[in-house]
Structure formats: C-alpha cells, structure tokens
Structure 1
Amino acid sequence: MENKETRTFRIDPSIEMKPVHFKNRFGIELAGHLYLPEGYAAKKNAAIIAAGPFGAVKEQAAGLYAQQFASMGFVSLAFDPSFGGESGGEVRSTASPDIFTEDYSAAVDYVGLLDCVDRERIGAVGICGLSGMAITAAGTDTRIKAVATLSMYDMSRDMSRGHMDYYTGEQRMKIKQYLSEQRWRDAESGTYALGNHEIGFDEAGNPLTAAMEIPEELPEGADPVFTAFFQYYAKRARHPRAVNFVSSWTATMPVSFWNFPLMTNIKEVSPRPILLIAGENAHSRYYSEDAYAAAQEPKELVIVPGADHVDLYDNFEKIPFDKLEAFFKNHL
C-alpha cells in the first residue's frame, strides 16, 4: 500500500483515501485513489472521477481535486491512466486517445459497483490534456451524467496541428516523415526511443525531436508558460512517477493522436451538461472556447480572471471550487 506522503498537495485528515485497482476492457489494470466523504457508508452517494493533467499522476492535481470533491460530499476517484503512474500497460510513458478515453469508462464501471455509490449520479472531470478524453468518454458513455474540464488541452489537435494550429502543410509532412522513420528505428532496435511529443521547428525548418532535457533550475529568460509548468512539475508538485519534467514520452506516441481526433462526438454529450473552465491568461484558453462553441446546450464556459493555465492545477485562490460544487450538486 502506498504511503500517503507521496501525494504532492495538502492532505485533509478528515477525508479517507483508499488505494484501489480495477481493469479497463483491454485488460489493463488501473491504479486509483478513492476519496471517501464523511458518513459515506450510510447512504448512496454521487461520485466524481478525475484524471489529468496529461503526463501527471493521481498524486498531483487529480488527487487534489478528488480530495476536494470528497470534502463536498462526493465519493471521488483519481486514477492513473494506462501506461503511467502505478497503472499497468506496456510500453511505459506512452499514451492513446482511445485507451485513455476507455480508462474513464472503466473508472465508471468501478465506482458504479461500489455499495456507497448511486450509479445514476456519476460525473467526470478532466484536467488539462485529459479533458478531451473525459468529454469523448461522456459523448458515448451515457452513464456519465455531467462532465467538467479545467485548463483544457485537446491533445490530438495539439500534437497534429501545433499550438494555435500553426503547422503548415509542409511542416505536417515533415513531422509525419520523422515519425515514420522513427518507427523503423524503433523496430530495428527493439526498443522505444523517447522524444518530443509537441514538435517544434528550428530556424532551418527542421523538426525538433529530441527528448526534453530537464534543467535543475529554471533557465534565465524562460517564457511564462515554461516557467509555470516548471514551478509546478519540477518544484512544488514533482512526482517521480510522472512523465512531465521527470522523463519524456515515447517518440512515436503522437502517431495515435494524429490518427484519432478527440471530441468529434462532443455534441452527443447533450442533453447532459458540460462545464468548461479556463484561465483568462492561459495559453490554452482557446481549446475551451472552441469546445464550448462546438458543444450543444446545456453548456457553460467560465473564464477565471487573472489565472493562467497552471493556476487551475493547484491554486486554491483561482480554482472556482464553488462553481464546480454547484455544477455537480445540481446535475448529479
């Protein structure tokens, strides 16, 4: 059993946490932390499932949210997606839009079988890059009665089109050629090399494919986005099982996200509600705004004044927990 001290946020001693395991329909065993509100055993409770950010583990932001939801009276589950954290799956440090979406439905299977949960009152939360998977799961899995996202990243769009969709057709072809050649190298070596999953370009127009070099300290002149990520993943919430600022993703991992776009079924979440929350100053804000435009009613977009992308990971002064509590208590 894992020591609770590995969690990277303040522990609420009034909330019971139980390490749990369950399998998805691919047979991969997933690891989670189940957070239980006071008096949970005496009634059937609503439940909320949380995961993310992309490359994070349940001991980081997802656990913080799950613990907070439990303090509101919800049975809450934070889990490690397949191939990462304490969850199973080989190869490690890889990802799949399909399997990560399935992981949400597997979590619904698990909590819905608990004696203390009302299976007609289950919601889902996606943080950062797991937002697209939470919405995609809800589009098909009608057991998810409400879905909320924080600092959304659409990972399929991000990897295949670049930030703000800046990739040109020529750049996209260069990335596809690189990924295809990398598959040959992996096949020949029998291993899976690490690489850059958000591929940029150098001044000569060549793809920047090397795995991230993780600095011990924040580089001088670092841009605000990198600074915010560094301060969270490398400093105050660093966790050895996370990918972010600890290791890197497998180099060919983007192939799955190029092949399979997320949230193509977002309109089919309706008539169940969607709540999208983004920071006013977040570089990722456009993902939430575009998802809001694509979704059907009932839907709500909340822009948090003065907040950046990472503020919604763990900044209690910026995260609108009152809005989340009202949303889930109204719809579950």
Structure 2
Amino acid sequence: MKLIKQHLLPLATSIILGSAITGASTMSFAENRNPNTPVSMISEWDKTFPQSNKVTHRKVSFQNRYGITLVADLYLPKDQSNTKYAAIAVSGPFGAVKEQSSGLYAQTLAEYGFVTLAFDPSYTGESGGYPRNMASPEINTEDFSAAVDYLGSLDNVNREKIGILGICGWGGFALNAAISDTRIKAVATSTMYDMTRVTANGYNDVNDAEARYQMKKTINEARWQAAKNGYADLQPANNLRKELFTAETPQFVKEYSDYYTTKRGFHPRAVNSNPDGSWATTSNLSLINMPILQYASENRTPALLIHGANAHSRYFSEDAYKALGNKDKELYIVPNATHVDLYDNQAGKIPFEKLNTFFKAHLK
C-alpha cells in the first residue's frame, strides 16, 4: 500500500490534473484578457469524430453568472418540427474539449432527437476566463447551470425538459449541478470521476491528512511566483507523453495517453493533449479543500451513472450511486469496458441506446 500511495498521489494531481506541482514551471499564459471574450470560435469542423449528416450544427456562446463567456457546439435534429424539443447539456472529460468526447455524445444524442449542447468549461478550450487552465468546483458546477440557462432561452427548447450529461471529471460536477439546480430534470454521468475526492485523497483514498497538508503547502508556496504572473503559471508539461513512461506506469495512464496524444483523440486545445500544456499551478487548491457531492443524499433528480466494468475509476460511480438520496437512480456497468473505452466509440462500448432511453423517459 505504501508503494501505491507514493505512486498514485502524483497521478491524481499529475495525470488527471496536468502535472505535478513540485518543480513548477514558470511557463504561463500571462494574458490580461477580458473573460467576456472567447479564446476563439472556429466555425469549420475540427472535431475528433466524423460529422453526422443527421443533425445540424453551429457554434454558439453564452455567459455564466461569473461573467465568463462559454463557447459551445449546438447540435439540432435535422428534421425539425414546430414542437419544442427536450435538451441536454454535455461536458467533459476533465482536461478535454468539446471537440472530443462531449461533442461525440452530444452529436449522437441529437441524432436521437434531442437538442444538445457540448461546451468548453470556463478557462479551457475556446471558452473565456483568465488565467487559463484553471479549475474550480464552484465555477465548473455553475458552467452546467449556465448551459441550462442558454438552452432554456432557445425558442425550440422546452425549458421544462432539460437534462445534463457529464463525462469523467465533469460527471462529478454534473451530479453536483443536478443536486443544486432544481431546473435540471435528469442527470447522466459516464465514466465518472469526483475530482475533489481524487485530488484530496489520491486514487483509492490512500492519502491522509498529512499528505493533504504537504500538497497544500507545496501549492501555496508556488503562489508567490504565480502572483507575480497573474496566477497564469502552469505546472510542468503534460506527462501523458509516452516517452515519459516507465515500467511502473499504470495501464490506465497508458490508456489515457492512447486517447489524448494519438490521432484517435488528440486535439490541440485540450489540456490533456497538448504536450506543453498543463493546469495552472494553483488549480488544485480548491479541488483539495472544497469537496463536491456533500449533499448527495438530498438529490431529487433522476440519475443514470454509467461506468466500465474494468475501469480503474469504477468506485467513483459506485460510491456516488450509494450516496444519492433519490430512489430514481441507476448504476449501469458496461461489460469489459475500461475508463477510456467510454471516451469514444472505438471499442463500441458507449451505451447510447441506454442514454437515449433514460433521457426520453425523464424529459417527456
């Protein structure tokens, strides 16, 4: 267990969040830009998956209640009628962009007849927010509610029929949003992570209070330099690169790399894809100290939690399922699937029919 603790602590704050804080780089995006301004709004198709001829697509933007502009892809059923549609907001995984998994999920669900929105969370991708590559349990939960605001403003959407879907780390934020935002009528997660839990506790909860204290001490020491640069300093470069692997590198880390750093899932705007990219040096502080899902027992929103049977992260969904207080909930385990198998449909493992049935039942 000692070996696991020593090895997996850096992974929780390194592979999933970018890179280890120790030896933090002075690399930064020191731009004094207005958070109301998107980083970009590229109109041409630049996704990691083929464009469907069954839906229409357009780029949109909207603000969250912190004044940060979010950029998203809106997918609409091609055969539109005069009826108001049920809608679903999608985001994740943690460190990904809407051109990857969330866009694939959104486009596929639009083929089933939903209006869907795949968005880049604050501080990442094409969305605004500076300094870049910053995570926040509060703001990232708010991003889902802002997406609901936007969908509910559309003339062709029934605002009483809006659900959300979170993938990987945004699965935890989606559950948190569903607990707090009573307008959300259904919530689904796929290959879910609770980012606050894994950051504070490491994988399989091996970290104790002393380990957390040392993490906070290291990160807070990094603030002296970060403050000089508008908190834009980034952690050392992404270590999902294959050349950094050793005999001790876990298999699931290799699977992350196979998705993010190869033609299969690489996208230059994704934190986890960019070989020189990483999260801000102060990004982990709130994830360590502000746990989400504290009021899971008070959840009333119908919930579907999907996870791979062979995923290293399966326990996050299992524990969240037990914690949710609502009776209308389901834990759906995909046979022979790993964590990353549910990022794309390369292995044909994503249960889209299950998602379609769930959302149609609860957004009717």
Question: Considering the TM-score relative to the shorter chain, is it more than 0.5?
Answer: yes
Answer yes or no: is the 8 Å Cα contact 2:231–2:280 preserved in 1. Answer: no
TM-score, scaled relative to structure 2: 0.84
Answer yes or no: is the 8 Å Cα contact 1:51–1:81 preserved in 2. Answer: yes
Give structure 1 stretches of 5+ with no counterpart: 196-209
Query: 1:309 matched to which residue of 2?
Result: 339
Is 1:229 the counterpart of 2:260 in the alignment? no
Query: 1:162 matched to which residue of 2?
Result: 202
- Rounded to whole Å, the distance in 1 between the matches of 2:239 and 2:185 is 41
TM-score, scaled relative to structure 1: 0.91
Answer yes or no: is the 8 Å Cα contact 1:139–1:267 preserved in 2. Answer: no
Query: 2:359 matched to which residue of 1?
Result: 328
Query: 2:136 matched to which residue of 1?
Result: 96
Query: 2:291 matched to which residue of 1?
Result: 261
Match of 1:118 among 158, 169, 175: 158
Is 1:244 the counterpart of 2:272 in the alignment? yes
Q: In structure 2, do the counterparts of structure 1 residues 124 and 237 end up closer, same or farther at CA, with 3 Å as the change threshold?
A: same
Match of 1:178 among 215, 218, 222: 218
For residues 80-122 of structure 1, the C-alpha deviation after alignment (integer angstroms, 9 at most, x for no partner) is 0000111001110111110011111111110101111011000
What is the identity, as a one-letter code, of the residue corresponding to 1:300?
E
The Cα of 1:214 is off from its aligned counterpart by 5.1
The Cα of 1:224 is off from its aligned counterpart by 1.5
Aligned length in residues: 317
The Cα of 1:53 is off from its aligned counterpart by 0.3
Answer yes or no: is the 8 Å Cα contact 1:40–1:75 preserved in 2. Answer: no
Answer yes or no: is the 8 Å Cα contact 2:164–2:174 preserved in 1. Answer: yes
Answer yes or no: is the 8 Å Cα contact 1:140–1:268 preserved in 2. Answer: no
The Cα of 1:189 is off from its aligned counterpart by 5.1
Give RMSD over aligned pairs.
1.6
Q: In structure 2, do the counterparts of structure 1 residues 69 and 226 end up closer, same or farther at CA, with 3 Å as the change threshold?
A: same
Is the deviation greater in 95-104 or in 254-263?
254-263
Within-5 A mapping of 1:46-61: 46-61=86-101
Give structure 2 stretches of 5+ with no counterpart: 1-40
What is the identity, as a one-letter code, of the residue corresponding to 1:87?
S
For residues 215-269 of structure 1, the C-alpha deviation after alignment (integer angstroms, 9 at most, x for no partner) is 3668464531111111111011111111013110011101111221111122232
Is 1:64 the counterpart of 2:93 in the alignment? no
- Rounded to whole Å, the distance in 2 between the matches of 1:76 and 1:190 is 35
Query: 1:206 matched to which residue of 2?
Result: none
Match of 1:212 among 234, 238, 262: 238
Answer yes or no: is the 8 Å Cα contact 2:307–2:333 preserved in 1. Answer: yes
Answer yes or no: is the 8 Å Cα contact 2:115–2:157 preserved in 1. Answer: yes
Is 1:284 the counterpart of 2:313 in the alignment? yes
What is the identity, as a one-letter code, of the residue corresponding to 1:21?
S
- Rounded to whole Å, the distance in 1 between the matches of 2:57 and 2:244 is 34
Query: 1:16 matched to which residue of 2?
Result: 56
- Rounded to whole Å, the distance in 2 between the matches of 1:110 and 1:66 is 15
The Cα of 1:186 is off from its aligned counterpart by 1.6
Q: In structure 2, do the counterparts of structure 1 residues 303 and 154 end up closer, same or farther at CA, with 3 Å as the change threshold?
A: same
Instruction: Select the structure with the greater relative contact order (CA < 8 A; seq sep ≥ 6).
Output: 2
Q: In structure 2, do the counterparts of structure 1 residues 43 and 228 end up closer, same or farther at CA, with 3 Å as the change threshold?
A: same
For residues 264-291 of structure 1, the C-alpha deviation after alignment (integer angstroms, 9 at most, x for no partner) is 1222321x21100110110110000000
